[in-house]
């Protein structure tokens, strides 16, 4: 069966949340409000009716896109999972180019995902960096 990539829809949201919960070692899971297009600004790769991996593309007022929040079904153990991730990344690259981006930025620590980026000719800095973030939302009581 062939892999397919498509834009996320509202019906995908609960699935994405369940996938993020499969990774309790992640310190933070995204909320819809911090994702592009309120959680719909991304893509999902499926094999037939089986969703495998999803990710998001942030666009900015510059010529750079930001590829982030790649998440996969941790229980999907098929050999084509790597191919699904490659399709996701190259599909997002295509959309970024069509949107006028000249470069894509991403952050990651998962060795398999880093290796796939290398296979797709991404530059991976050999010195570690750190994700630095701060929740600045003002909480109303």
- Angle among Cα 112, 11, 59 to the nearest 5 degrees reads 60
Whether residue 130 lies inside any domain: the answer is: no
pLDDT score, position 58: 96
pLDDT at 129: 80
pLDDT in tens, 29-66: 788 999 999 999 999 999 999 999 999 999 989 999 99
pTM of the predicted protein model: 0.89
In a domain, 46, yes or no: yes
Residue 23 domain-assigned (yes or no): yes
Which segments of the chain have a pLDDT < 70?
138-141
Please give the residue range of the domain that contains residue 31: 3-119
Q: Please state, in angstroms and rounded to a whole number, the distance separating the CA atoms of residues 128 and 121.
A: 19
Q: Is residue 18 part of a domain?
A: yes
Structure tokens at 27: 């310190």
Does 124 fall in a domain? Answer: no
pLDDT computed for residue 11 by the predictor: 97
Domain count for the chain? 1
How many whole angstroms separate alpha carbon 20 and alpha carbon 23? 6
The answer to whether position 131 is within a domain reads no
- CATH label of the domain that carries residue 14: 3.40.630.30
Q: Is residue 137 part of a domain?
A: no
Which residues lie closer than 8 Å to 107 by C-beta, 6 or more apart? 68, 129, 131
- Cβ-Cβ contacts under 8 Å for 72 (sequence gap 6 or more): 19, 52, 53, 54, 81, 84, 85
Look at residue 42 and tell me if it is in a domain: yes
């Amino acid at each position: 069966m062939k892999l397919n990539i498509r834009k996320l829809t509202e019906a995908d949201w609960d699935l994405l949340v369940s996938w993020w919960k499969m990774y309790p070692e992640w310190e933070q899971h995204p909320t819809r409000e911090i994702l592009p297009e309120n959680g719909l600004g991304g893509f999902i790769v499926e094999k037939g009716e089986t969703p495998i991996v999803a990710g998001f593309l942030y666009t900015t007022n510059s010529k750079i896109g930001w590829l982030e929040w790649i998440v996969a079904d941790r229980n999907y153990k098929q050999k084509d999972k790597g191919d699904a991730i490659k399709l996701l990344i190259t599909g997002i690259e295509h959309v970024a180019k069509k949107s006028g981006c000249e470069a894509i930025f991403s952050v990651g620590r998962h060795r398999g995902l880093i290796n796939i980026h290398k296979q797709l000719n991404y530059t991976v800095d050999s010195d570690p960096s750190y994700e630095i973030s701060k929740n600045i939302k003002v909480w109303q009581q």
